[in-house]
Homo-oligomer: A and B are copies of this chain.
Amino acid sequence: MRFKFPLMAIGLEVAMITLFGLFVQYETEQNIRQPPSSSNSTDVDRFFELYPLFQDVHVMIFVGFGFLMTFLKKYGFSSVGINLLIAALGLQWGTLVQGILHSHGQKIHIGIKNMINADFSTATVLISFGAVLGKISPLQMLIMTIIEIAVFAGNEHLVAEIFMATDIGASMTIHAFGAYFGLAVAGVLYRSGLRRGHDNEESVYHSDLFAMIGTLFLWIFWPSFNSAIAEAGDKEYRAVVNTYFSLAACVLTAYAFSSLVEHRGKLDMVHIQNATLAGGVAVGTCADMAIHPYISMIIGSIAGMVSVLGFKFLTPVFATKLRIHDTCGVHNLHGLPGVIGGLAGIVAVALGASDMSTPAMQAAALGSSIGIAIVGGLIAGLILKLPIWGQPSDQNCYDDSVFWEVPRWREHDHHFHEHHGHNHLEPEL
């Protein structure tokens, strides 16, 4: 049983290498069928124009998402470690499935946009990971990565190619999709044994500071996320500017509402770590449109407020009434702000901020992103519930020592004296 995880990882890597051998090629000048454009730039030139934006996104995926989830006191290794594992698998798989959908039977030629989109596709899984953090095993996450990215690529193709909707910062196709997919999985895998919470489901002082590393790198580079695949020129420029100001406005309302809803006007680290980013999510769909900077700031302000209110009032209801336990509160950071982004996009298109789409097509894109995510997540949840994968017991949730070698220090460390030696899995890892 202990061989399932390594054999699955090796098997998946062998499959990836085989598929790359069959379907993937370099981008070379010979591959460029059309004559060079008037600007005289080749694809390889364009590669290094966008490379800094790609690297910003890359930092968001591996440092941003990875550290954002280290807030739990005993689950930092898994947060940052499994984040790396599934993102590394996801970017290979995302390259393939997105490439095959777009290449119309030809070989996939790796350009900078393929690499950016590969990183993007991993973001959906990392968002969903936040909803089930601490409650499932690395092996389950490998399976979920394969399923979710395939479904994501299908929905993204539907939105972009069939509905011809616009969603440059992926409020709908990544953020709402990833959140609702994760919530559906969390619903299927609901553990009534944890309904009164778990001792490990809290932070310590320095785990909250580690999480702020994630928050800040996500916050800083979000303008690159929203503009990385925008059309060069005015649209790319506006995607940066709108996101920059939306995020700045969002910080003010996130702090204000955190203080308003908390006991004696204090701030809550969970809100600061997450709700300050909601402005980046919510401005995504219309980031490249000519909506005016002050409108971006209004969108960001609303997102910051809604996100805090979601953490305070909605997450507890989800856990108790809907039996959906959302460890990181991804519904508040990605779900609700993603829906706000989708709605803002419908309004913006209706008001003529973009002539690339129609309100109906935008609404279809929002609906399909949420609907397909929920259906996909339910199916994925049922597959992940199969006893063959193993799953941590209720007692072992949110505990690195289930998956990681315990060094000698742990015996001496006061943070870890509880539950020591009780690392049994159901049925087994």
A residues apposed to B, CB below 8 Å = 2-3, 5-7, 9-10, 12-13, 16-18, 20-21, 24-29, 44, 47-49, 51-53, 55-56, 58-59, 62-63, 66-67, 70, 73, 76-77, 80-81, 84-85, 88-89, 91-92, 110, 115, 138, 202-206, 208-210, 212-213, 216-217, 219-221, 224, 233-234, 236-238, 240-241, 244-245, 247-249, 251-253, 255-257, 259-260, 262-269, 272, 276, 290, 292-294, 297-298, 301, 403-405, 407-410, 413-416, 429
Let me know if B73 and A9 touch, CB within 8 A.
Answer: no
Residues of B within 8 A of A212 (CB): 66, 80-81
Let me know if A205 and B251 touch, CB within 8 A.
Answer: no
Let me know if B290 and A26 touch, CB within 8 A.
Answer: yes
Let me know if B21 and A88 touch, CB within 8 A.
Answer: no
> For residue A408, which residue of chain B has the nearest CB?
B202
Cβ-defined partner of A404 (8 Å) among B7, B16, B52, B267: B267
Q: How far is the CB of A47 from chain B (nearest CB, A)?
A: 5
Interface of A is mostly: helix
The complex places the Cα of A58 from the Cα of B268 at a distance, in Å, of 24
> For residue A78, which residue of chain B has the nearest CB?
B267
Let me know if B28 and A251 touch, CB within 8 A.
Answer: no
Q: How far is the CB of A171 from chain B (nearest CB, A)?
A: 20
Let me know if A10 and B209 touch, CB within 8 A.
Answer: no
Asked if A205 meets B253 with Cβ closer than 8 Å, knowing A29-B234, A233-B44, the reply is no
Cβ-defined partner of A252 (8 Å) among B12, B67, B251, B290: B12
Residues of B within 8 A of A233 (CB): 44
Let me know if A3 and B260 touch, CB within 8 A.
Answer: yes
Cβ-defined partner of A255 (8 Å) among B138, B260, B264: B138
Let me know if A249 and B92 touch, CB within 8 A.
Answer: yes
Residues of B within 8 A of A59 (CB): 217, 220
Let me know if B269 and A405 touch, CB within 8 A.
Answer: yes
Let me know if B80 and A209 touch, CB within 8 A.
Answer: yes
Cβ-defined partner of A55 (8 Å) among B70, B224, B409: B224
The complex places the Cα of A80 from the Cα of B267 at a distance, in Å, of 13
> For residue A19, which residue of chain B has the nearest CB?
B294
Q: How far is the CB of A101 from chain B (nearest CB, A)?
A: 19
The complex places the Cα of A58 from the Cα of B81 at a distance, in Å, of 24
Let me know if B73 and A409 touch, CB within 8 A.
Answer: yes
Q: How far is the CB of A341 from chain B (nearest CB, A)?
A: 18
Let me know if B52 and A405 touch, CB within 8 A.
Answer: no
Cβ-defined partner of A17 (8 Å) among B16, B63, B256, B297: B297
4 nearest A-B residue pairs (beta carbon): A2-B265, A88-B251, A9-B256, A6-B256
Besides the known contacts A51-B53, A81-B272, 10 further A-B residue pairs in the complex with CB atoms under 8 A apart? A6-B255, A6-B260, A9-B253, A10-B252, A17-B298, A63-B220, A81-B267, A265-B429, A267-B404, A269-B407
Asked if A51 meets B48 with Cβ closer than 8 Å, knowing A5-B265, A409-B73, the reply is no
Let me know if A407 and B220 touch, CB within 8 A.
Answer: no
Asked if A405 meets B84 with Cβ closer than 8 Å, knowing A17-B298, A52-B55, A290-B26, the reply is no
Of A18, A59, A294, the most chain B CB neighbours within 10 A belong to A294
Let me know if B44 and A405 touch, CB within 8 A.
Answer: no
Asked if A28 meets B245 with Cβ closer than 8 Å, knowing A265-B429, A405-B263, the reply is no
Cβ-defined partner of A115 (8 Å) among B24, B80, B244, B266: B244
Q: How far is the CB of A351 from chain B (nearest CB, A)?
A: 15
Let me know if B209 and A76 touch, CB within 8 A.
Answer: yes
Residues of B within 8 A of A257 (CB): 6
> For residue A86, which residue of chain B has the nearest CB?
B251
The complex places the Cα of A236 from the Cα of B48 at a distance, in Å, of 9
Cβ-defined partner of A6 (8 Å) among B13, B21, B259: B259
Residues of B within 8 A of A67 (CB): 213
Let me know if B268 and A17 touch, CB within 8 A.
Answer: no
Cβ-defined partner of A267 (8 Å) among B21, B48, B272, B405: B405
Query: Can you pick out 6 interface pairs between chain A and chain B where the beta carbons lie within 8 Å of each other?
Result: A6-B255, A17-B297, A59-B220, A73-B409, A77-B209, A203-B407
